[in-house]
């Protein structure tokens, strides 16, 4: 049994063969955009964290290679230990040099060295400030770097040098790229830009714009635009900065990968993590009351993952943790899959609610209110009944856990006039639904093995406090 989903294998000849989200069609759309604008541009792939961008761009990269494009993949987050992004970006370009193009690359590299030399006094001062306390020594170091010429005159001269060195660098880079890829643009993929240090992310954007804006380079920025915008605001120290307008300076085309078809991903995860080995094991199916566990688990997956905006990575985490926690249940233990899965869901997505439940700090009504606030599912004809079902099970389990068995307040009473059971609390999902609420509660009461189960029956296993069965 797997506890973590490894990186998806990308087959060289058929890179999307193992894609479960049917995303190959989007790679073809994006490749056609490149065909339409071969002179170069900056494309932002904008999706939330955990939407599977990295897997997609790696598959697309192989698709581009198969179509004779030269590509580079740069993980900004994995390389933000380097203070100067220009060093890292040039290092990536070095990997595509050949014996034929190496002389041109070396010329471009020298021009890059001249470019960085112009900021040497600033770097020297920063290093001195960081590591040396004595002001006199610092000034000596900076003085050596800057020379003895008049500061203002020197800055004017350096300004002219920098302008020329930028132009020379871009000219050399353009010539190098033109001779590298048989007339096709170089595809430079920059991933995880929104996850690296804010100042490093902004520096990469600035250097792409000022140094690498040359013909025949297409930059692909894989980003969560909202998070990158927050990084920009942090760097400039202004919460009022228009981050969208700032990012438009760098991005020519923005594209978002559509969400996968509903039901696709959670069904794949169910199979991948081999839930049937538990729910459908012959030993477990010998016991009554467990035959519908798989169906109830899948139905709750549909309720939670097709009606709420849960990132793919978090769905995977919920499934992985659920599968591990199931090992805490014996074959003869009740799981109540819908309740078990929901509690795992809130442990990962809404941990404060989960901890409040465990600490018994909520009233029954507060449990219902928080349930409604975190579920974020529209109540309609399709979702109303399963949501009420889940609501009643949570209320019952919490009530059993909240109070000692012999001092426990009942959730219902018998009506002396009608002789029927009457709920003492109302549903928060559907108002004036006393009959429906009581009907679901009675279905729990009829199952003697589960009616008395308290919340800790589930949380102890979800928190991995029970021995795991092999």
Does residue 467 belong to any structural domain of this protein? no
- Of 61, 33, 122, 83, which Cα lies nearest the Cα of 207? 83
Alpha carbons 4 and 435: distance in angstroms, whole number: 44
This prediction's pTM = 0.74
Measure the N-to-C terminal CA separation of the chain; round to a whole number of Å. Answer: 10
Domain range for 244 is: 24-255
Alpha carbons 180 and 70: distance in angstroms, whole number: 8
Does residue 243 belong to any structural domain of this protein? yes
Check whether 293 has a pLDDT greater than 90.
yes
211, 228, 255 - which closes a domain = 255
- The confidence score (pLDDT) of residue 323 equals 95
199, 230, 255 - which closes a domain = 255
Check whether 191 has a pLDDT greater than 80.
yes
Kindly report the average pLDDT of the chain as a whole number: 84
> Is residue 373 domain-shared with residue 280, that is, in the same domain?
yes
> Is residue 166 domain-shared with residue 309, that is, in the same domain?
no
Check whether 68 has a pLDDT greater than 80.
yes
Lookup result for tokens 């350096």: 158
Residues facing residue 255 across a β-bridge: 45
H-assigned helices in 284-422: 293-305, 312-326, 337-349, 351-358, 364-375, 384-402
Alpha carbons 424 and 410: distance in angstroms, whole number: 8
> Is residue 249 domain-shared with residue 280, that is, in the same domain?
no
Average pLDDT value for residue range 181-206: 88
Average pLDDT value for residue range 87-91: 84
> Is residue 392 domain-shared with residue 245, that is, in the same domain?
no
- The confidence score (pLDDT) of residue 159 equals 59
- CATH number, domain of 183, equals 3.40.50
> Is residue 73 domain-shared with residue 173, that is, in the same domain?
yes
- Of 266, 263, 258, which Cα lies nearest the Cα of 312? 266
232, 255, 278 - which closes a domain = 255
> Is residue 36 domain-shared with residue 135, that is, in the same domain?
yes
Number of alpha carbons in the 13 Å side-chain half-sphere of residue 36: 7
> Is residue 226 domain-shared with residue 318, that is, in the same domain?
no
Domain count along the chain: 2
Residues 6+ apart with CB under 8 A from 386: 299, 300, 303, 338
Question: 309: pLDDT confidence band, cut at 50, 70 and 90?
Answer: confident
Does residue 12 belong to any structural domain of this protein? no
Number of alpha carbons in the 13 Å side-chain half-sphere of residue 226: 4
> Is residue 245 domain-shared with residue 273, that is, in the same domain?
no
In the three-class reduction of DSSP (H, G, I as helix; E, B as strand; rest coil), residue 255 is classed as: strand
Q: E strand or H helix at 434, and its extent?
A: helix 434-445
Does residue 70 belong to any structural domain of this protein? yes
How many other β-carbons are positioned within 10 Å of the β-carbon of residue 438? 20
- Phi/psi of residue 339, nearest 5 degrees: -75, -40
> Is residue 412 domain-shared with residue 269, that is, in the same domain?
yes
> Is residue 218 domain-shared with residue 279, that is, in the same domain?
no
Structure tokens at 319: 């499934």
> Is residue 272 domain-shared with residue 216, that is, in the same domain?
no
Does residue 3 belong to any structural domain of this protein? no
Q: What per-residue string of b and e applies to 203-214 under the rule 16 or more CB within 10 Å gives b?
A: bbbebbeebbbb
How many other β-carbons are positioned within 10 Å of the β-carbon of residue 240? 7
> Is residue 300 domain-shared with residue 247, that is, in the same domain?
no
Choose the most confident range, by mean pLDDT, from 50-54, 138-142, 278-282.
278-282
Average pLDDT value for residue range 98-102: 85
Residues 6+ apart with CB under 8 A from 364: 395, 398, 399, 402, 411, 425
- The confidence score (pLDDT) of residue 262 equals 75
Question: 407: pLDDT confidence band, cut at 50, 70 and 90?
Answer: low
Q: In what order do the strands lie in the sheet with 186-191?
A: 71-75, 186-191, 217-223, 40-46, 253-255
Does residue 8 belong to any structural domain of this protein? no
Check whether 362 has a pLDDT greater than 50.
yes
Does residue 218 belong to any structural domain of this protein? yes
Does residue 6 belong to any structural domain of this protein? no
């Amino acid at each position: 049994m797997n506890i973590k989903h490894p990186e998806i294998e990308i087959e060289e000849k058929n890179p999307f063969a193992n894609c479960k989200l049917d995303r190959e069609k989007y790679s073809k759309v994006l490749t056609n955009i490149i065909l339409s604008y071969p002179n170069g541009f900056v494309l932002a792939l904008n999706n939330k964290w955990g939407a599977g961008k990295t897997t997609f761009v790696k598959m697309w990269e192989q698709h581009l290679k198969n179509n004779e494009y030269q590509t580079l993949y740069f993980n900004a987050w994995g390389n933000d230990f380097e203070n100067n992004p220009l060093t890292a970006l040039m290092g990536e370009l070095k990997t595509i040099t050949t014996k034929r193009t190496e002389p041109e690359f070396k010329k471009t590299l020298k021009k890059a060295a001249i470019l960085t030399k112009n900021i040497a006094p600033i770097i020297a001062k920063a290093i001195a400030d960081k590591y040396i306390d004595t002001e006199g020594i610092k000034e000596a170091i900076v003085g050596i770097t800057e020379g003895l010429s008049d500061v203002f005159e020197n800055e004017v001269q350096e300004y002219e040098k920098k302008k020329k060195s930028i132009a020379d660098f871009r000219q050399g880079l353009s010539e190098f790229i033109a001779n590298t890829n048989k007339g096709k643009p170089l595809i430079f993929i920059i991933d995880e830009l929104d996850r690296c240090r804010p100042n490093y992310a902004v520096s990469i954007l600035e250097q792409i714009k000022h140094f690498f804006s040359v013909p025949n380079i297409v930059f692909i920025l894989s980003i969560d635009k909202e998070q990158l915008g927050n990084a920009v605001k942090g760097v400039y120290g202004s919460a009022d900065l228009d981050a969208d307008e700032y990012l438009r300076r760098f991005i020519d085309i923005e594209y978002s990968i559509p969400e996968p078809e509903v039901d696709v991903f959670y069904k794949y995860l169910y199979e991948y993590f081999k839930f049937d080995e538990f729910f459908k094991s012959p030993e477990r199916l010998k016991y009554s009351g467990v035959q519908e566990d798989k169906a109830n688990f899948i139905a709750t997956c549909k309720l939670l993952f097709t009606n709420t905006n849960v990132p793919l990575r978090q769905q995977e985490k919920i499934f992985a943790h659920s599968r591990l926690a199931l090992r805490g249940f014996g074959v003869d233990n009740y799981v109540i899959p819908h309740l078990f899965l929901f509690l795992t869901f809130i442990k990962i997505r809404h941990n404060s609610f989960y901890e409040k439940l465990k600490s018994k700090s909520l009233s029954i009504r507060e449990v219902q209110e928080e349930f409604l606030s975190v579920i974020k599912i529209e109540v309609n004809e399709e979702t109303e009944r399963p949501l009420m079902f889940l609501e009643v099970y949570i209320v019952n389990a919490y009530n059993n856990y909240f109070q000692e068995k012999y001092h426990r307040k009942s959730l219902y009473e018998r009506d002396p006039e009608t002789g029927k059971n009457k709920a003492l609390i109302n549903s928060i999902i559907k108002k004036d639904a006393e009959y429906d609420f009581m009907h679901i509660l009675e279905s729990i009461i009829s199952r003697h093995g589960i009616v008395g189960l308290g919340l800790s029956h589930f949380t102890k296993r979800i928190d991995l406090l029970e021995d795991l069965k092999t």
